[in-house]
Amino acid sequence: MRAYVLTIEPPGGPRRKSIAQQLEPAAFSWEFFEGVRRDDAGLQELYSPLRNLLLAKRSVTPSELACYASHRAIWRRIVSSGERYALVLEDDARVVDHAALSSALAEVERGDFDLVKLSDLRPKHIVKRVVAGQIELVSHKMLASGTVGYVLSADAAARLLQRRRVYRAVDEDIGHAWEFGIDVWSVAPNPVDEAPLAAATSAIQVERLQGGGNPLRSLYGELLQARKRILTARYHSRLQVRC
């Protein structure tokens, strides 16, 4: 399984050095993948402000939009590669268990999966759990945020790319997996997490904090969240591991 490490850092940057050192013992091939920057030309053409207003609880920041465009570029590479699966890591990933990561990749390649998350941000309690070979797969009450590390099938990548214009952050869209007709599982415990320093200095986090709040938008967001809870429960009622 090939791995793509998403980065916008120049060669020799601290994040590149950190992830390169962590992947030295890896049994898979990997490469850096140059991401989209927030000031790249044409980026706004990907964004739908109207759908964001109607279907999202908050606006998408410029850095979140660039992050989404970067993941989409990797998904296109996966589709064109001819391989069944690929591992996607962001450059602020930290491998906490190399053995568990290797087992997870092996089990995914033996099975039939859409998207398997290796890292979850602020996960809710688990509502489904299954054993797949040497790993445990779980699904949370509300699909967890974060795209620090995940395995994606080429088929699922193609379905994600069918959305021509986006209106949520990439991890929030994955949290609406039923809209794409894909199944999302998480490896428990997570073999990958986000480096603490990277989380503290993230441009996305800074922009979110600077965005302020709109009381009416917040109230509407609560209605959208209630709808999401209903649709997530329906999604879980049919979720099962495909062998």
Mean pLDDT of 223-239: 96
Rounded Cα–Cα distance for residues 174 and 160 (Å): 9
At residue 215 the predicted structure's pLDDT band, cuts being 50, 70 and 90, is: confident
| Of residues 101, 122, 87, the one with CA closest to residue 190 | 101
Helix (H, G, I), strand (E, B) or coil at 240: coil
CATH number, domain at 22? 3.90.550
Strand order in the sheet with 135-140: 30-34, 2-7, 85-90, 149-153, 115-117, 184-188, 135-140, 126-132
Give the pLDDT confidence of 54-88 residue by residue, as tens digits.
Answer: 999 999 999 999 999 999 999 999 999 999 999 99
- Sign of the C-alpha dihedral computed for residues 64, 68, 24 and 114 taken in this order: positive
- Residue 221 belongs to a domain: yes
Number of domains in the chain: 1
Minimum mean pLDDT range among 87-101, 108-122, 169-183, 194-208:
194-208
| Of residues 69, 70, 87, 68, the one with CA closest to residue 78 | 87
Range of 131's domain?
A: 2-238
Rounded Cα–Cα distance for residues 116 and 105 (Å): 9
pLDDT value at residue 212: 56
pLDDT value at residue 200: 47
- Residue 155 belongs to a domain: yes
Mean pLDDT of 161-185: 97
- Residue 243 belongs to a domain: no
At residue 216 the predicted structure's pLDDT band, cuts being 50, 70 and 90, is: confident
Give the pLDDT confidence of 119-135 residue by residue, as tens digits.
Answer: 999 899 999 999 988 89
- Residue 136 belongs to a domain: yes
DSSP string, 33-80: EE---TT-TTGGGGB-HHHHHHH-SSPPPHHHHHHHHHHHHHHHHHHH
pLDDT value at residue 41: 87
pLDDT value at residue 214: 76
Q: Is the pLDDT of residue 208 over 80?
A: no
Minimum mean pLDDT range among 185-194, 195-204, 215-224:
195-204
Rounded Cα–Cα distance for residues 102 and 25 (Å): 11
Rounded Cα–Cα distance for residues 37 and 106 (Å): 33
Q: Is the pLDDT of residue 102 over 70?
A: yes
Rounded Cα–Cα distance for residues 239 and 161 (Å): 22
pLDDT, the chain, mean: 92
Q: Which residues contact 209 (CB under 8 A, 6 or more apart)?
A: none
Q: Which two tokens stand for residue 211?
A: 């965005």
